Homo-oligomer: A and B are copies of this chain.
Amino acid sequence: MEQTLRVAVFGASGYTASELIRALINHPRLEITNLVSRSHAGKKLSEVFPHLLPSYISELRLVDEPTQDYELAFLCLPHEASHELVPLLLESGKRVVDLSGAYRISEEGAYEEFYRFSHKHPELLREAVYGLTELFREKIKGARLVANPGCYPTATLLGLYPFLKFGLGLYEVIVHALSGVSGAGRTPRQEFHFPEMSENFFSYSVEKHRHVPEMEDAIRRLTNRDIKIRFTPTVVPTSRGMLSTIYLKAPKVDVLELFRETYKDEIFVKVLERPPHTKWVLGTNYCFVYPYYDRRTETYVIISAIDNLGKGASLQAVQNANVMMGWEEDEGLFQTPLFP
C-alpha cells in the first residue's frame, strides 16, 4: 500500500481552501484529518460548502484547533495569521505549505511597506522555499516550509523564467495582468457585489501591489539581479482565470524555441503557438504560455494563462506537497478543465 500523509487545512472556509479540499478529496495519498477555522468552527463542511455535500468528508466538522494527528499543514489564512502560526507549527514538527504571503519575500523590510505588519521571523524568511515548483523544485524537496506563490507572480514568473534560466539580460519589464474576482477572496465587497461587477472591469492597486516585491524577490533569488517590474492588475467579470502579459526587452533569441526547451520536461506548463484562453486551464494546475517577439517594436510579448485558484494557489500547493514528499508531481492533479 502506498504511503499516505495526514494533513490539516487551516483557514478552511475560503476559496483557496475549497479549491484545495477539492483536490485533496481526489488525492490518493493525502488525507484530510483536520479542517481548522476560527470563524466557522463547529459547522460541518457541507454547511460551509454545500457543493461538498456528496463528498466523503462532508460531515467533518470544522474545528478551532486541530484535534487529530497530522504531519502536513496547508495554511489558507490571512497573512498575519500565517505569520504567527508558521513558527509554532514548525516547532511542533509539522511541515507547512503556506498559501499566504507571509513567508514569500526573503527580506523582512518588504513586509512593513507592503503588508503593513512587522515581520518577526526573518530567519524563517531565509529558510522558507518559494514554492514556484518549476523554478525551485530542488529546494522544495525536503523543505520544512514552502511559501506558496501568489497568483500574479506564478503566471508572470512562468512567463519570465526562460529568460532568467538562460541568463538573458532583460529590462524594461512591464506586466499587465488580468484576474477573475475570486482572487480577491471570499469576503463580500461592494465593488464585487454581482450587480456592480457584472458588465464591469477595472484596474486597481496601480500605484503599489504586494505581488511586485514578491516577483522581484524571486528574480533576485534566481539571478542575483535587481529587475524592476512595472505591474498593473485588472479585475474582470469571471469567477476564475488569470492572464499575465509581459512586455520586455532582451537580446534576440528564438523565443518559441527558448520556451520549448525550458519547459520540455514540465508536466504543467504547455507552450502554445497562439494566445491561450483562460478557460482552457479552468480548474487545473496547468499554465499555458504563448511567447512572441514583436520585431516592429523590438519587444517580447509573453502571455501566460492559469487558473488563479489552480496553478495560482491551491493546486500548486498540492504540487509542492507532492514534491516535498518525493511523490509523482502530478499525484491527485489530473483535473480536466470544465468546458464549456
Contacts and interface: CB of A to CB of B under 8 A. Distances in A.
Contacts of A270: 53-54
A201 B245 contact: no
Given A54-B270, A230-B247, A340-B15, A199 B239 contact: yes
Interface in A271-294: 272, 275-284, 286, 288, 290, 292, 294
Chain A contact residues (Cβ within 8 angstroms of B): what range? 35 or more
Contacts of A193: 181, 186-189, 192-194, 340
A4 interface: no
Contacts of A239: 194-196, 198-199, 340
B172 A243 contact: no
Interface string A199-236: 11111101100000000000000000000111010101
A338 interface: yes
Interface in A319-340: 334, 336-340
A68 to B, nearest CB: 22
A275 B203 contact: yes
B230 A277 contact: no
B201 A199 contact: no
B201 A277 contact: yes
Contacts of A178: 178, 201, 234, 236
A176 B187 CA distance: 30
A229 B192 contact: no
A54 B234 CA distance: 24
A194 B207 contact: no
A39 interface: no
B174 A237 contact: no
Contact of A288 (B53, B174, B284, B297): B53
Residue of A228, A229, A297, A299 with most chain B CB atoms under a 10 A cut-off: A297
A170 to B, nearest CB: 14
11 contacts: A50-B277, A54-B284, A54-B286, A172-B172, A181-B194, A196-B340, A203-B303, A206-B292, A236-B237, A239-B340, A282-B338
Given A202-B305, A240-B338, 12 more contacts: A15-B340, A26-B336, A174-B247, A174-B297, A186-B195, A191-B277, A194-B194, A195-B340, A198-B239, A203-B245, A234-B243, A236-B238
